[in-house]
Amino acid sequence: MIYSNILLREIYWSEIPNWIQAVGVVIASVGLVITLLLQRKTLKEQQIITKLEQKRFLDTYLPVLEIENLHYKRDEQKYEVKFDIVIKERGLRNLKIHHNFPNDFIIDIPYYISDVILPVGKALSFKIFFELEPVIVEIVEYSGNTIIFDFEDSLGNKYQQYLIYKGADSLFVHPAFHRK
C-alpha cells in the first residue's frame, strides 16, 4: 500500500508541470485570438475615422455653386430660361462645362478661361432656349437634361456637379462630389 501511494504521488507530481503548461498554452491561445479580434475591430474603426477625416478635409476646400437670377419666359411655343451660376464659397479652377441636352435645345454656355482660378462671387450666365411643336405641351419632369460642371478646388482635387433641368423654371443643382 505504501508503495502504491508513493507511485501515485510521483505520477501525480510528475504530470502537474505538463498540465500547467497545457492550461497556459490554452489561455495564451485564447488571449491571442481575443487580441487579434480587438486589433481588427480597432483597425476597421480607424479606417472609418480616416475616411471621415479625408472627407471633412476635402469639404473644407470644396467650391460651392448656386443658381441665382432665374428668369423663365414663354412666348407661345418658344421657351427661354436664363440663370446665373454663382461661385458662393471657395474659388475653383480648371472648369469644364458640358451638357447632354438634345439638339433641338440651344444652350448658351458663358465664356470663361478654364485654366485660371475663378474667384468667389464670379457669376456665369446661361441661357436655355427651345421651341416646342404646337401639339406638344411642356411637362415639368426629369428628362435627363443635365449641365455638367467638372472642376478642381485650389488643391487640385477633382469634383463634378450636375445642374438638372426639368422644364419650365425647374432647375436643381445637385451637391458636388469628389472624383478620383
Regarding whether 71 and 150 lie in a shared domain, the answer is: yes
Regarding whether 50 and 79 lie in a shared domain, the answer is: no
Regarding whether 111 and 25 lie in a shared domain, the answer is: no
Regarding whether 166 and 114 lie in a shared domain, the answer is: yes
Nearest to 99 by CA among 113, 86, 85: 85
User: How many CB atoms are closer than 10 A to CB 132?
Assistant: 14
Regarding whether 48 and 126 lie in a shared domain, the answer is: no
Please give the pLDDT value at position 77: 79
φ, ψ at 72 (rounded to 5°):
-115, 130
Number of structural domains in the chain: 2
Q: Look up the CATH number of the domain holding residue 118.
A: 2.60.40
Q: Which of 61, 82, 104 is the last residue of a domain?
A: 61
Separation CA 177–CA 21 (nearest Å): 58
Q: What is the pTM of this model?
A: 0.69
pLDDT digits (tens, 9 = 90+) for 47-99: 999 999 988 888 888 999 999 999 999 888 788 999 999 999 898 999 999 99
pLDDT digits (tens, 9 = 90+) for 15-54: 778 888 888 999 999 999 999 999 999 999 999 999 999 8
The parent domain of residue 9 ranges over 1-61
Q: Which residue has the cell 411655343?
A: 77
